Amino acid sequence: MAFSLKLFLRKLFSNLFKKKKHIKLGLYGPPNGGKTTIANRICQDWLGEEMGKVSNVEHETREIQVKEEVNMKSGNKELSFNLVDTPGIATRIDYENFIKSGLKEKEAKSRAKEATKGVIEAIKWLDNMDAVIVVLDSTKDPYTQVNLTIIGNLQARDIPLLIVANKIDLKKSNVERVKSAFPQYKVLGISAKRGDNIEEMYEELFNLV
């Protein structure tokens, strides 16, 4: 009896204070918001290596990319997670747009086909996430249905999220507009390319996870 009680209490306390292992931190957003640039920035800062290739042509990331065991430290705070870079979510994919961006027809068609699969995978992976950074381009209209659907689905699944309004180094950037579109969430303006507010983003991640 005493043994069972002891075992029960030990299990209860270990469950209460156990740190969740293999937290999955996802990067979600529409194409060309800068998800992979942020992933590269995080990996460079904490692992000393890059995660993926970036490009000005949309849908450069067409497969889920996972970087395991990223360890972040700040003072006495520590955070360990698997970083998941996802393909940009879109409702339309037209290979002719890739041709306009300079790709050959065969390459453009193949990219479009892979991009559609990437969107499907990104949506499927939503259920696996423990926390998400929603990456939006602060130079673009934040009121798109893709943005609302991503955030709404994270909310419906009770997944904690941080919205980063990326590309604040560009003249057309308007972080206030992103903030006014999502007043119920923390919105942080950053430039993943130049490194603006990256330390603040890390601080927010400690609070988020």
Contact footprint for other proteins (CB under 8 A):
89-95, 112, 116-117, 119-120, 123-124, 126, 141, 143-146, 148-149, 152-153, 155-156, 181
Q: Based on CB atoms, which residue is closest to other proteins, 34 or 118?
A: 118
Min dist. Cβ of residue 149 to other proteins (A): 4
Q: Based on CB atoms, which residue is closest to other proteins, 80 or 97?
A: 97
Q: In 3-state terms, what secondary structure has residue 164?
A: strand
Q: How far apart are CA 207 and CA 188, in angstroms?
A: 13
Q: Based on CB atoms, which residue is closest to other proteins, 19 or 92?
A: 92
Instruction: Specify whether the CB–CB gap between 188 and 200 falls below 8 A.
Output: yes
Min dist. Cβ of residue 124 to other proteins (A): 8
Q: How far apart are CA 209 and CA 198, in angstroms?
A: 17
Long-range contacts of 149-152 (CB under 8 A, 24+ apart): 149/89, 150/28, 150/29, 150/89, 151/182, 151/185
Q: In this structure, what token pair is assigned to residue 1?
A: 């009896």
Per-residue buried b or exposed e for 62-74, using 16+ beta carbons within 10 Å of the residue's own CB = bebbebeebebee
Q: Based on CB atoms, which residue is closest to other proteins, 1 or 156?
A: 156
Q: Based on CB atoms, which residue is closest to other proteins, 7 or 148?
A: 148
Q: Based on CB atoms, which residue is closest to other proteins, 11 or 124?
A: 124
Min dist. Cβ of residue 12 to other proteins (A): 31
Angle between helices 35-46 and 198-208 (to 10 degrees): 90
Min dist. Cβ of residue 100 to other proteins (A): 13
Min dist. Cβ of residue 24 to other proteins (A): 18
Min dist. Cβ of residue 102 to other proteins (A): 19
Q: How far apart are CA 177 and CA 136, in angstroms?
A: 11
